[in-house]
Each structure stands twice: as C-alpha cells, then as structure tokens.
Amino acid sequence: MKTTMKFLSYFIIAFAMVLTSSSCDGEDGMDGVEGPQGIAGQDGADGQDGADGQDGEDGNAEVIYSDWIPANFEGSSASVKFMLIDFPPELPSATSIRDTHVILVYYSGFGDGNTYQLPVLNFRGAQFTFGYGSGSAAASDIIITARALSGDLTEFQIDPTRGAKLRYVIIPPNINVGRSSIDYSDYNAVKEAYHLKD
C-alpha cells in the first residue's frame, strides 16, 4: 500500500505540473470592444477684450529725399549749363531704379518763393530738365540741364546766392499704394503726404 500511495502522489504531482505548464502556452485572446466616449467638460468663460490701440500715422520710412542742394551749374557755354547730383553710396543708382521707383526733382529759384517739379519749361527765361547718368560708378545719378530760352543764363536763374536750389525725392513702388491721387507737381502736397522736412 505504501507503494500505491507513493505512486499516487507522484501521479498527482506530474498531473499538476502538466496542467500548470500548459496554461502558459496559449495564445492571447482578442481585445474587448472599446467603451463609449465620456461627456465633455464645459468651456470656460471668455476673457475680456483689450482696448483698441491708437492708429499710427501713414509711414514714409522708405521715402528718400535729399536736403536742398544749392545750385552748382557748370559748363563752358553761357547759355547751357549742367549740374550733377550723386545719390549717397548706400542707395542704388538712379538708372537701376528709374523704372520701378518714382524719382522727382524740384527746383526753387529767385523771387517768387515757389517750388517747381522738373521739367520747368520757363523760369525767368530758363528751362530746367533732368536725366539719368549711365549707371556706371563714375557717372552721376541725376544730370540737370539749365538752358536759356534766349541769350545767356543769368544769376537770377542759376545762382545759389540768389536762391537757386534743387532736391530729389525717391518714392518706392510699395509706398504709393493708396496715394495715387497726389499731384507730384504740387511740391507742398508731396511734402505733406510724405512728411518731408525742409
């Protein structure tokens, strides 16, 4: 009987080992169905709007203009003289921007206190026109021509001691948006629109 008990206890141990080892070898089952979405929380209250800022002035940061340049006409002819104006070195040449920017030249002379946009066809018997240099480093940007309509040029037309002076204004294409109604021949309108300082 001892042998039978021993045999039975070995059989139970072997059966338990087989039973426990076979339970680890099975495949995982499929995941269960996902549960329903929970209820969303309530939105918080909106914050108070800030105060509106003050509108700024229309800018002219990109408008470039010279100081008034005293007339300095030169040339061997008594009836035709030239004045050369160079832009500062940090600016592109006039020939490189003349098709994209507005380049204005103004003249103020003796006696009447007015400022004229070039070309000036007749100021005290003289005509003032301007053109552009070749674009080379040695060429001037703006070339102004003073021509007597008859006879010789006089001090009242071209002499800086009599008040003859010129200035240029360069307006980039993006600045003219919304300002196309400005009359460029009216120096005071241009001065006001672009905040030019005398």
Q: Is pTM beyond 0.75 here?
A: no
Q: How large a percentage of the chain has pLDDT more than 90?
A: 45
Per the document, the length of the chain is 198
**171 bridge partner residues:** 102
- Contact indicator for 94, 141 with CB cutoff of 8 Å: yes
| Strongest mean pLDDT among 5-9, 111-115, 176-180 | 111-115
Tell me the CA distances in angstroms from 163 to 68, 70, 73, 104, 149, one per residue in order. 11, 8, 13, 20, 20
